[in-house]
Amino acid sequence: MTDFNLMRELRRQAPGKIILLVMDGLGGLPLEPGGPTELEAAHTPHLDRLAAEGTLGQTIPIRHGLTPGSGPAHLGLFGYDPLTYVVGRGVLESVGVGIVVRKGEVAARGNFCTVDAQGMITDRRAGRISSGEALPLVEKLAKVRIPGVQVEVRHVQEYRFAAVMRGPGLESDIADTDPQRTGVPALEARPTKAGSQKTAELFNAWIAEARKAIADQPKANALTLRGFSTDPGLPSFPETFGVRSACVAAYPMYRGVAELVGMTVLKFEGDKPEDEFAAVARAWDDFDFFFVHIKKTDSRGEDGDFAAKSAVVEGVDAALPDLLKLGPAVLAVAGDHSTPAKLKAHSWHPVPFLLWAPATVRTDDQRRFGETACSHGGLGTFLATDAMPLMLAHAQRLEKFGA
Amino acid sequence: MTDFNLMRELRRQAPGKIILLVMDGLGGLPLEPGGPTELEAAHTPHLDRLAAEGTLGQTIPIRHGLTPGSGPAHLGLFGYDPLTYVVGRGVLESVGVGIVVRKGEVAARGNFCTVDAQGMITDRRAGRISSGEALPLVEKLAKVRIPGVQVEVRHVQEYRFAAVMRGPGLESDIADTDPQRTGVPALEARPTKAGSQKTAELFNAWIAEARKAIADQPKANALTLRGFSTDPGLPSFPETFGVRSACVAAYPMYRGVAELVGMTVLKFEGDKPEDEFAAVARAWDDFDFFFVHIKKTDSRGEDGDFAAKSAVVEGVDAALPDLLKLGPAVLAVAGDHSTPAKLKAHSWHPVPFLLWAPATVRTDDQRRFGETACSHGGLGTFLATDAMPLMLAHAQRLEKFGA
């Protein structure tokens, strides 16, 4: 696990720049025993060349056997052990839809539900109403006003939304209002520490007004809130590792996590690999470290579309020369976790990792970028939190430890 | 290392069942450089097929370089870090000969010794008397009675026995009575915490009576006690991992360790692999997790009989179809440690690990089950405590961590 104080002690400036290219959900599974994975089935001449010139390994996102969500998986790649640096569900959901949550602001994840005439919950997820049905309800909630604070509300997916309260003196130690069963009323927001009493009352006031606003709605006439949390105050990534750091990501969730650790989020148009790589090129002189995020490997994995996931990888491969011509000292190609098309979901399997660093890498005997090659790579199998020290070292950005 | 609270949070029910087949002391050594190990020399068509369809790795029982006893090695495979969850020697010895030690009962390991007319120890192990010579002495000790408590005594091996005291208000914080040298008397049982005063006095009373009972014996006329301990109160395995858990083992030691972690110990006749596998089949519907223990790989390794150890593996392989036809979601074939015939003893070497899980496994490029193949397997080299999360994950019995 990355020792942050040690990193601060050992970091040093060097001219070489680092690119961390994350293909979300990169790891896959063969459809039949001994067959290729999505990555292995893809035609990837550039990645294969980098594999031959660099070294391979496989990362364990959190611990063996644990399937990570996107937030924890990215924190791990950034060097933050997800079991130590826990980000609340409310913050992650908010960040995921592009709401910035700052210290002292309180985020919650919301569920639309249905209640009967007596106020008893009849469906905790309002029949999993569609996003189309939920959006007008979110608009009603967004207009709710209560004295002393502002509450920003955005839709997440289906029956889920995110709410962030802003104002003076707020605390986030509040228990979920979802009773986890039907036939009972939603719970009041109750403080779990004394300091959160006022915030709980404000949330109860907001909930009361919000329920009035949707009381006559046919599909969902009530709501619950869970995962109350605030900015976890993560150590600063640029300060800890001594790198001016930029995030290039098309999806809000990943921009949000990058912002939580203090990276500068770059604006750009488009969502193709070449659009993202062009954004890196434009900002090349201003940063030392670039986190570049490709979403669609994960999306096609979640769809269960093996061939489409391979095609996304091929698209990244085709655009790679745009990154290489910038002359990075280190290019790491990684995944935050596996999303095998066969499982249509995130999984716990080890994740391929490629480290290319022409001046400093110890090349191994692997010649292609794929799961099996990575399991035989020179870096071995290691925790994702070790990726940052490895990248910094290969960019000659870490001092020797001890005399 | 397995985080037990995290496991409790993430565990979930799923239909797939898990079999952990442990061949004790599975890991071996070649008799000459480059030669096969006992496992590699064995003809194992079924295990090789599972290796081809599954994935391999190698486990480190405790930490690199540490040779484990059977108790800690099994705790590791069950997910309990043996350096955190320390089970006292007295409890392990007792459990090893089939004495159940419950909370509040105090177990000790006993050594027969010899003393001269002045009561000074002349041989701390009584010339390592044979089991045949020790058994009549153990029978005498078993008849010793003192007021207020019962003491169960069983023979372990040669000069060693186990003693468990039962009664109200007992505490186990007592120092060893073995002075670790000759020419001095055996020590009194002394409490290391105030609460153990009464228990120490009871043990001293029992020792006095026990010494009277064997004072006239020619081979061993005294005794010492060590490793005073009680049931360590390990977290429950079935509760922690959310699996109804059964143990199928022919030897008392392994049934004992399984019982310490809360598994249900199944009764069955015979001690062959097919007898054990039939016991699994009979209980198949009632449990989610089966720990199946094969002892004789270790026994033949301790004998130094390379060919006989290979033959034990071949016997397991031949019976494997009985397990496979039950349709487990996950079959892990593991060892608790290595017992190379070349060393005639437990060793610290990594242990072969095979994970077969048709619905979820990432196959690697290894086609046979053996030490070298396992060192190239897709799972890499990992701590034995990571085996449980891996098995649960492959049975889809763990929720995602974080959003």
Please name the amino acid found at residue A169.
G
Question: CB distance from A346 to chain B under 8 Å?
Answer: yes
Joined together, the tokens standing for residue B14 give 């799923």
Binning pLDDT at 50, 70 and 90, where does residue A30 land?
Answer: very high
Chains A and B form CB pairs within 8 A to the count of 100
CB-CB under 8 Å, B53 with A87: no
- The residue in chain B having the minimum alpha-carbon distance to the alpha carbon of residue A68 is B401
* Confidence band, pLDDT 50/70/90 cuts, at residue B403: low
pLDDT, residue B402, reads 83
Contact between B403 and A70 using a beta-carbon 8 Å cutoff: yes
State mean pLDDT over B267-281: 97
Q: State the pLDDT confidence band at A159, using cuts at 50, 70 and 90.
A: very high
Between CA A18 and CA A288 the distance in angstroms is 6
Q: Does A349 touch chain B (CB under 8 A)?
A: yes
Q: How large is the average pLDDT for residues A307-317?
A: 98
- What pLDDT was estimated at residue A97? 87
User: Which SS3 state, helix, strand or coil, does residue A362 take?
Assistant: coil
Q: In whole angstroms, give the CA distance from residue B311 to residue A318.
A: 54
**pLDDT for residue A195:** 95
Note whether B402 contacts A72, CB cutoff 8 Å: yes
Is it the case that residue A305 has pLDDT exceeding 80? yes
Q: Which of residues 367-396 of B touch A (CB under 8 A)?
A: 376-382, 386, 388-393
The residue of chain B nearest to residue A65, with distances taken between CA atoms, is B390
The C-alpha of A356 sits at a distance from chain B's nearest C-alpha, in angstroms, of 22
For B389, which of A64, A71, A340 is closest by C-beta distance? A64
Q: pLDDT digit string (tens) for A192-208?
A: 999 999 999 999 999 99
Residue of A nearest to B390 (CA): A65
Quote the CA–CA distance of B253 and A245 in Å, as a whole number. Answer: 56
Q: What is the DSSP string of B201-252?
A: HHHHHHHHHHHHHHTT-SS--EEEEEEEE----PPPHHHHHT--EEEEESSH
Of B3, B363, B401, the CB nearest to A69: B401
Q: Could you tell me the two tokens for A111?
A: 């569920």
Given a cut of 80, is residue B79 above it in pLDDT? yes
State residue A44's pLDDT score. 98
Calculate the average pLDDT of chain A: 96
Distance from the Cα of B65 to chain A's closest Cα (Å) equals 19
In this prediction, what percent of chain A has a pLDDT beyond 70? 100
pLDDT of residue B114: 97
- Tell me which of B31-45, B91-105, B356-370 is least confident: B91-105
**CB of A87 within 8 Å of any CB in chain B?**
yes
Q: Which one of B364, B365, B393 has the shortest CB-CB distance to A65?
A: B393
Which two tokens mark B99? 């004495």
pLDDT band at A1 (very low <50, low <70, confident <90, very high): low
Residue B259 reports pLDDT greater than 60: yes
The alpha carbon dihedral of A353, A359, A360, A366 has a sign of: positive
Q: Note the pLDDT of residue A393.
A: 98
Nearest residue of B to residue A87 by CA position?
B402
**Angle, in degrees to the nearest 10, between helices B252-260 and B70-77:** 50
CB–CB contact A64 B377 (8 Å): no
Average pLDDT on A55-83 reads: 96
**Residues of chain B contacting A83 with CB distance shorter than 8 Å:** 3, 6
**pLDDT beyond 70 at A189:** yes
CA distance A53 to A47: 10
Chain A contact set for B353 (CB, 8 A): none
pLDDT tens per residue, range B24-74: 999 999 999 999 999 999 999 999 999 999 999 999 999 999 999 989 999
Q: What pLDDT is stored for residue A376 in this prediction?
A: 98
Chain B partners within 8 Å of A306 (Cβ): none
In tens, the pLDDT along B199-254 reads 999 999 999 999 999 999 999 999 999 999 999 999 999 999 999 999 999 988 89
pLDDT tens sequence across A320-359? 999 999 999 999 999 999 999 999 999 999 999 999 999 9
Judged against a pLDDT cut of 80, whether residue B362 lies above it is answered with: yes
Quote the CA–CA distance of B152 and A5 in Å, as a whole number: 54
Task: Characterize B40-60 residue by residue with b for buried, 16 or more Cβ atoms within 10 angstroms of its Cβ, and e for exposed.
Answer: bbbebebbbbbbbbbbbbbbb
Stated pTM of the model: 0.90
Residue B352 Rama label (left phi>0; alpha psi -120 to 50; beta): beta
Q: In this complex, do A82 and B380 lie within 8 Å of one another by their Cβ atoms?
A: no
Cα A212 from Cα A137, distance rounded (Å): 12
Percentage of chain B modeled with pLDDT above 90: 94
* Interchain CB distance below 8 Å, A381 and B380: yes
Mean pLDDT of B90-106: 90
Quick one: DSSP state of residue B377? S
What are the chain A neighbours of B392 within 8 Å (beta carbons)?
Answer: 65
Residue B1 pLDDT: 55
Query: Which pLDDT belongs to residue B111?
Result: 96
CB A292 within 8 A of CB A278: no
Instruction: Find the largest Cα–Cα distance for chain A.
Output: 74
Tell me the mean pLDDT in the region B295-299. Answer: 96
State the helix-helix crossing angle for A252-260 and A70-77, rounded to 10 degrees: 50
pLDDT tens per residue across span A134-149:
999 999 999 999 999 9
Instruction: Flag if B390 and A348 touch (Cβ within 8 Å).
Output: yes
* Interface confidence (ipTM) of the complex: 0.88
Smallest Cβ–Cβ distance between A372 and the set B360, B365, B388 belongs to B365
Tell me the shortest Cα–Cα distance from A261 to chain B, in angstroms: 17
The order of strands in the sheet holding A264-265 is A264-265, A245-249, A289-294, A18-23, A330-334, A351-356, A55-60, A381-383
Least confident of A197-206, B10-19, B83-92: B83-92
Residue A66 contacts B, CB cutoff 8 Å? yes
* Nearest-CA distance A284 → chain B (Å): 32
Name the CA dihedral angle for B8, B12, B16, B22, rounded to a multiple of 10 degrees.
Answer: -10
> Residue B340, CB half-sphere, CA atoms under 13 Å: how many?
18
